[in-house]
């Protein structure tokens, strides 16, 4: 039995499984072929950045102090 590789240009909501593959152990891989937009220095970050007034970094002694 030969594997099936098929490129779908407009993916439907459901993909039919050929009759010869039904009720068998199969591997189904869905891989988007569209390229991801490249990340540049001027592009928006893909994560959330918290806006804070200032960053407080305690000293080593303050971090290791036993309360």
> Rounded distance, CA 61 to CA 58, Å?
8
pTM: 0.41
pLDDT reading at 25 higher than 90: yes
pLDDT > 90: percent of the chain: 18
pLDDT-based confidence at residue 14 (cuts at 50, 70, 90): very high
Structure tokens at 62: 């303050």
CB 4 within 8 A of CB 18: yes
44 CB-contact burial (10 Å; exposed 0-12 / middle 13-18 / buried 19+): exposed
Which of 33, 16, 23 is closest to 4 using CA atoms?
Answer: 16
């Amino acid at each position: 039995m030969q594997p099936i590789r098929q490129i779908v240009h407009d993916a439907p909501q459901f993909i039919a499984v050929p009759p010869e593959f039904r009720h068998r152990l199969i591997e189904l891989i869905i891989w988007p072929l569209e390229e991801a937009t490249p990340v540049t220095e001027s592009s928006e970050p893909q994560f959330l950045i918290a806006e804070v007034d200032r960053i407080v970094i305690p000293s080593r002694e303050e971090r290791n102090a036993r309360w």
